[in-house]
Amino acid sequence: MSDRTIFILGASRGLGLGLVREFLGRGWRVVASERGHSGELHALACDALRIVTCDVTDPASYADLGFGAGELDVLFVNAGITGARHQSSEQASAEEVAEVMMTNAFGPVRAAKTLLPAVKDGGTLGFMTSLMGSIADSSGGYELYRSSKAALNMLAKGVAEQDAGPRGIATLALHPGWVQTDMGGPQAPLSVSESVKGLADVLEGASGAGFRYADYAGKDLPF
């Protein structure tokens, strides 16, 4: 077993669950979080896997998970919802905006800042984002989701500059591609296993302070 440890915040299904499988297969120690009981996650039970319960929108749930300083090589925050079905800035209520922004942007960054002391100097901090958060690439539409991921990218860049960078921690905002998950749908071209293999390669290969917005294949994306 490797002496490397990753905490995947949001690992009960989809890409998060796939990342748990991938890193266990690579010999890492994995800490994985669920909001409620995930039979699929618990089916992976082994000596290298620790399962915790927390919610990215509830700071009290992750405030004391028992991590020691510098215990983690990688912290990866995987949280995301599509938001209201209409996705329209004209129709959006204050509650709908608050839900998608807190779940996709402010919640993940607040969790990362809270948990950053557990990441070793020179380690890696990652966020699951989307190409739909790119302003340069945007074609419009999906306004709630796009805005939340653009906000996540901006906030992650700030963490890289102010919090992670001074400790030599690499900060990544990673686009998983269009993947066959509940969110991506069955028509998506990428399987979960293909996406998480690439994401794991990028996370394993990260080094040194700085911020990258990249996809699962390691290609840099326009901000």
Q: pTM higher than 0.85, yes or no?
A: yes
Each domain of the chain, given as residue ranges in start order, spans: 5-215
Q: How far apart are CA 133 and CA 60, in angstroms?
A: 28
The per-residue pLDDT for 182 is: 72
Q: Each residue's pLDDT tens digit in the chain (223 positions)?
A: 579 999 999 999 999 999 999 999 999 999 999 999 999 999 999 999 999 999 999 999 999 999 999 999 999 999 889 999 999 999 999 999 999 999 999 999 999 999 999 999 999 999 999 999 999 999 999 999 999 999 999 999 999 999 999 999 999 999 999 887 776 777 778 899 999 999 999 999 999 999 999 999 999 999 9
The per-residue pLDDT for 77 is: 98
The per-residue pLDDT for 59 is: 97
Q: What CATH number was assigned to the domain covering residues 5-215?
A: 3.40.50.720
Q: How far apart are CA 127 and CA 7, in angstroms?
A: 12
Give the pair of three-digit tokens for residue 77.
């925050």
Which helix (H) or strand (E) segment holds residue 40: the answer is helix 39-42
The per-residue pLDDT for 50 is: 98
SS3 179: strand
**Close Cβ partners of 126 (under 8 Å, ≥ 6 residues apart):** 74, 75, 76, 77, 171, 172, 173, 174, 203, 206
